[in-house]
Chain A
């Protein structure tokens, strides 16, 4: 019974964190069509924001504004200098952001060194949940992710900006014709996407390894989620995270971690081959 509960909690945790990690790519790739190969590097910038604030003796919450500021500035500059010239040229954005990811890794390596950075635990210790000991910080993180996605979902459905983004995504020319400043809207959407990637990095920093090359894994898992879930909707993102996270957790628990990873790869390949639009696509 305890084991089932532990594995159940782990499943929820895996799905929630995957959705958080993939959100930034879902926005940038799903809405703007920019396959941002530097997605993981923005997660890395968020994690390093926590390192910097802890080194300065500040509480972890101070990392949130820092990460937003850093990712917004870098994201704005990248959109303005590179990405805006390449909309509707997906392969070129892929190459350009791939180069950008190398540059970001190397700059952080030059500034902070290649070695692993240890982030102090936040809320150390465990809490009893129905008789099993579960790390307190993870429980807090689960609650924050749930609230965050709830607010985001409501905002995207109800707000004016959400409606404009949808208009821009489904027909950019028409959206521009009715007076929507699509260039500015696209830039803001890009900046929002990379900022959420940075926030995911902040949230995960106390739990994972932190070093300049940490981003690559996050890019891969985010990509698998979008392949399965489909582009352009929050529903697709959550479904994709559930399928990828669920498969990995269940197969890894029943068999071994290698089988779990293989199952994720197989599912992704099958989707790319047989159902390239994913399970839930607005496109």
Chain B
């Protein structure tokens, strides 16, 4: 029985791997890919969906013959803590486990530490939404930049929602500040003005003074770059004062979990701009969502742009490796420009180590998002200056 099973398994494994690669795959070692994601800390909420999405991508890529005929073996590490801990974890995978490429979904402080550690010697794909401006060699960026999320969206809000007097509110760190710096240009270009700008510490749980200022500033639109719990608390308080009737809200990191915390009755006139929503109605996005829930169950961690970006990260690695014919970082650098692949978000095309891609503007609609406008192939802007 045991022998029979072994022969059966070996036979089918050989058949599966031999088909696309004409036999060479049998001899090849698996390629280890380090997947760096937050399993603890403030970002820990996004760990499970990211891990699921990465595992789904690995299963699909391996099912179709792997990368350059080699099966992918994902190695996960927690980078939810401080950058120094993340560095240790990445170093262990790189030098200890001999990981050949990294896919990372974490904050920018960790990214800064990692680009210093890698120094362009190992391919590193950074997947989440971020403030733009990453230009290190060997680092390839998938996430939405402020240019992508705002350049087409702010004129749309002005034209369709009458947004002209903007109040900018965010947490006090570089992503909100850089996003708002970019936003000011687009607001002016759309004929609007900025009537207030404020940054809150992460510990803030009382937003009354901010709401009073928003009200007295006469703002008709608020750009929200608060993250996670702060965004939930702010939006709930915003609605309790009856402000949504007269003031529209636009967020660049309000994903499905944050919206669930805000609640359907507090999300009137709330818009979100991102490269992915769980409710995107395209064949590719629906197929992805079906595969995700088919593999991990109907009540698996909710799909969202950050979690889904881990799937995109592995797809981009595959596309670049196949174009370059190698996983060597220098050859990937040479081949990266113009690489494209199709994922749940649509087609992504690499340019200056970033990708141009479709951006969706969605309106909160009950417990989910409804896409109200799709902006095709939006450029990530200039990030190497």
Interface status of A226 (Cβ within 8 A of chain B): no
Instruction: List the one stretch of A85-93, A130-138, A176-184, A271-279 in contact with chain B.
Output: A130-138
Contact partners of A119 in chain B: CB under 8 A: 263
Residues in B neighbouring A214, C-beta threshold 8 A: 229
Asked if B201 contacts A257 (CB within 8 A), the reply is: yes
Known A-B contacts A115-B45, A121-B266, A257-B200; the reply to A6 vs B261 at CB < 8 A is: no
Does A58 belong to the interface (CB within 8 Å)?
Answer: no
Task: Tell me whether B198 and A256 are in contact (CB under 8 A).
Answer: yes
Are A209 and B232 neighbours in the complex by a CB distance under 8 Å? yes
Q: Is A53 an interface residue (CB 8 A)?
A: no
B351 interfacial contact with A, CB 8 Å: no
Question: Which residues does chain A contribute within 8 Å of B198, judged by CB atoms?
Answer: 256-257
Tell me if B206 and A248 are in contact (CB < 8 A).
yes
Instruction: Report if A168 contacts B (CB, 8 A).
Output: no
Q: Interface size (B, Cβ < 8 Å)?
A: 37
Question: Do the beta carbons of A117 and B261 come within 8 Å of each other?
Answer: yes
Known: A126-B241, A133-B241, A133-B242. A116 touches B258 (CB 8 A): yes
Question: Which residue on chain B has the smallest CB distance to residue A10?
Answer: B208
Q: How many residues of A contact B (CB 8 A)?
A: 39
A209 touches B203 (CB 8 A): no
Q: Which residues of B contact A211 (CB under 8 A)?
A: 229, 261
Q: A115-B45, A116-B260, A120-B263 are in contact. Are A253 and B209 (CB under 8 A)?
A: yes
Cα A35 to Cα B262 in complex, Å, equals: 33
Does any Cβ of A come within 8 Å of B257's Cβ? yes
User: Which residues, 196 to 220 on A, are CB-close (under 8 Å) to B?
Assistant: 207-211, 214, 217, 220
**Contact across chains for B203 and A220 when beta carbons are under 8 A apart:** yes
**What 0/1 pattern do residues 240 to 269 of A give for CB contact below 8 A with B?**
000000001100110011101100000000
Whether a CB of chain A sits under 8 angstroms from the CB of B24 is no
- What is the chain B residue whose CB lies nearest that of A204? B205
Q: A258 near B212 (CB under 8 angstroms)?
A: no
* Cα(A119)–Cα(B232), bound, Å: 11
**B interface SS class:** helix
Instruction: Say if the beta carbon of A124 comes within 8 Å of chain B.
Output: yes
Q: Which residues of A contact B265 (CB under 8 A)?
A: 120-121, 124
Q: Is the CB of B212 within 8 A of A6?
A: yes
- Tell me if B260 and A118 are in contact (CB < 8 A): yes
Across the two chains, which residue of chain A brings its CB closest to B235? A209
B172 engages A217 (CB within 8 Å): no
Task: Check B241 against A135 for contact (C-beta < 8 Å).
Answer: yes
Given A135-B240, A217-B203, A256-B199, also A249-B208 (CB < 8 A):
yes
Q: How far is the CB of A246 from chain B (nearest CB, A)?
A: 12
Cβ–Cβ < 8 Å partners of B45 in chain A: 114-115
Q: Does A140 sit at the interface, judged by CB under 8 A?
A: no
B260 partner, pick from A3, A10, A115, A248, beta carbons under 8 A: A115
Contacts of A115 on B, CB cut-off 8 Å?
45, 257, 260-261, 302
Q: Are B258 and A208 touching (Cβ within 8 A)?
A: no
Contacts A211-B261, A249-B209 given: A261-B236 contact, CB under 8 Å? Answer: no
| Residue in A10, A118, A121 whose CB lies within 8 Å of B209 | A10
**CB-defined interface of A96-138 with B at 8 Å, one 1/0 digit per residue?**
0000000000000000001111111100111000000111011
CB pair B237 A116 closer than 8 Å: no
B204–A261 touching, CB < 8 Å: yes
Which residue of A is nearest B199, CB measured? A258
A255 to B148, CA, bound (A): 32
Question: Bound complex: CA of A138 vs CA of B44, how far in Å?
Answer: 32
Q: How far is the CB of B183 from chain A (nearest CB, A)?
A: 18
A14 is an interface residue with CB less than 8 A from chain B: yes
Instruction: Give the residues from 316 to 369 in chain B that come closer than 8 angstroms, CB to CB, to chain A.
Output: none
Q: Residue A7 contacts which of B204, B212, B236 (CB distance < 8 angstroms)?
A: B212
In the complex, which of the residues B172, B229, B262, B263 contacts A258, with contact meaning CB atoms closer than 8 Å?
Answer: B172
B residues near A133, Cβ cutoff 8 Å: 241-242
Which residues of chain B have C-beta atoms less than 8 A from A260's C-beta? 209
Q: Report chain B residues within 8 Å CB of A120.
A: 263, 265
| B residues 235-271 touching A (CB-CB < 8 Å) | 236-237, 240-242, 257-258, 260-266
**Chain B neighbourhood of A149, CB < 8 A:** none
Task: Assess whether A156 is interfacial by the CB under 8 Å rule.
Answer: no
Residues of chain B from 209 to 236 with CB closer than 8 A to chain A in the complex: 209-210, 212-213, 215-216, 229, 232-233, 236
Bound-complex Cα distance A207 to B236 (A): 7
Residues of chain B contacted by A10 (CB below 8 angstroms): 208-209, 212
| Complex Cα gap A257–B170 (Å) | 11
Min C-beta distance of B181 to chain A, whole Å? 17
Give the distance to chain B from A130, nearest Cβ to Cβ, in Å: 15
Which residues from 97 to 119 on chain B have a C-beta closer than 8 Å to any C-beta of chain A?
none
- Of all chain B residues, the one with the shortest Cβ separation from A257 is B200
Smallest beta-carbon distance B86→chain A, Å = 20
Q: How far is the CA of A134 from the CA of B242 in the complex (A)?
A: 9
A76 an interface residue at 8 Å Cβ cutoff? no
Beta-carbon contact of B241 and A208 below 8 Å? no
Docked complex Cα distance between A135 and B211 (Å)? 13
Closest to B302 in A: A115
Q: A135 CA to B239 CA in the complex, in Å?
A: 9
Residue of A nearest to B266 (CB): A121
C-alpha gap A125/B245 in the complex (Å): 11
Whether the pair B205, A217 counts as a contact (CB closer than 8 A) is yes
A258–B208 CB distance below 8 A = no
7 A-B pairs with C-beta separation under 8 A: A115-B260, A120-B265, A214-B229, A249-B206, A253-B209, A256-B199, A258-B200
What 10 pairs across the A-B complex have the smallest Cβ distances? A116-B261, A118-B263, A10-B208, A252-B209, A209-B232, A135-B240, A257-B200, A253-B209, A209-B229, A126-B242
A contact set with B: CB distance below 8 Å: 3, 6-7, 10, 13-14, 114-121, 124-126, 133-135, 137-138, 207-211, 214, 217, 220, 248-249, 252-253, 256-258, 260-261
